[in-house]
Amino acid sequence: MAKIKSNRTSTRKDIIVAKAAKLFREKGYSATSMRDLAEHVGVEAASLYNHISSKAEILQDICFRVATKFVLFIEEIDASNRSALDKIEAILRFHIRQMIENYEEVYVSDREWKHLTDPYLSNMQSQRRAYRQRMGSIIEEGMRRGEIKPIDASTAVLIMLHAVSGIESWHRSKRKIEGDKLEDNMVKILVGGLKQS
């Protein structure tokens, strides 16, 4: 029977993954050693292998857990009855929120996925491409309906997705505006930049 540790909802593996996310974000996947990680968890490096199978597995967990969450959200939004612009805003807000509240894992998923190995790497590349294409389709629908100014959909997608990753600067700031205000300001600028005027 798997023993529950530290907190009933959190296994040792969860702790390892959470600490790993923090270190992978701070230093990068390759620059973080298993000995570094073990030190933060509070065990010896060799002990980690009672709970995980490999360093690579940790990265896979983080990347696919985050990717899945985003895919599920966009599917839900895309199936809803909203204008294209409202859909885009909802997706944008979700990205911003995730980047504020689940920063470590979202950052790692977004910036360190290139260290995955096949077949996970190919899988992730496909997922990311499909996700961008899906966002692009929503934007194109908005252009057809006259809600969104005539622009290159791919460009709009890359702007929004990368602008959100800029929240890493917000996390590093000493004096930062409130999360809600950050979200509203970003939406104002980004959605405002899309709107037909």
Residues 6-65 that bind DNA (CB under 7 A): 12, 32-36, 38, 43-51, 53-56
- Contact between 1 and DNA by CB under 7 A: the answer reads yes
Longest dimension (CA), the chain: 62
Cα three-residue angle 188-149-130, rounded to 5 degrees? 85
Interface positions, 48-87, toward a copy of itself (CB under 8 A): none
**Number of residues assigned to the chain:** 197
User: Does 38 interact with a copy of itself (rule: CB under 8 A)?
Assistant: no
| Cα 134 to the center of its chain, rounded Å | 16
What phi, psi does 20 have (nearest 5°)?
Answer: -65, -45
CA distances from 42 to 19, 30, 59, 113, 132 (A): 10, 20, 20, 26, 39
55 binds, among a copy of itself, DNA, none (CB under 5 to 8 A by kind): DNA
Residue 143 binding: pick among DNA, a copy of itself, none (C-beta 5-8 Å cut-off by kind): none
Shortest Å, Cβ 151 to a copy of itself: 5
| Minimum distance of DNA from residue 1's CB (angstroms) | 4
CB of 90 to a copy of itself, least distance (A): 18
Other beta carbons within 10 Å of 2:
7
* Residue 177 found at the interface with a copy of itself (CB under 8 A): yes
DSSP letter (8 states) at residue 146: T
Q: Is 30 in the site for a copy of itself (CB under 8 A)?
A: yes
Amino acid at residue number 15: I
Contact 187, 93 (CB under 8 A): yes
- Given candidates 7, 9, 81, 197, which one binds a copy of itself under the rule CB under 8 A? 197
Query: What does the alpha-carbon distance between residue 30 and residue 88 come to, in Å, rounded to a whole number?
Result: 34
Where does this chain bind a copy of itself (CB under 8 A)?
Answer: 27-31, 111, 114-115, 132, 149, 151-152, 154-167, 169-170, 173, 176-177, 181-182, 185-186, 188-190, 192-194, 197
Where does this chain bind DNA (CB under 7 A)?
Answer: 1-3, 5, 12, 32-36, 38, 43-51, 53-56
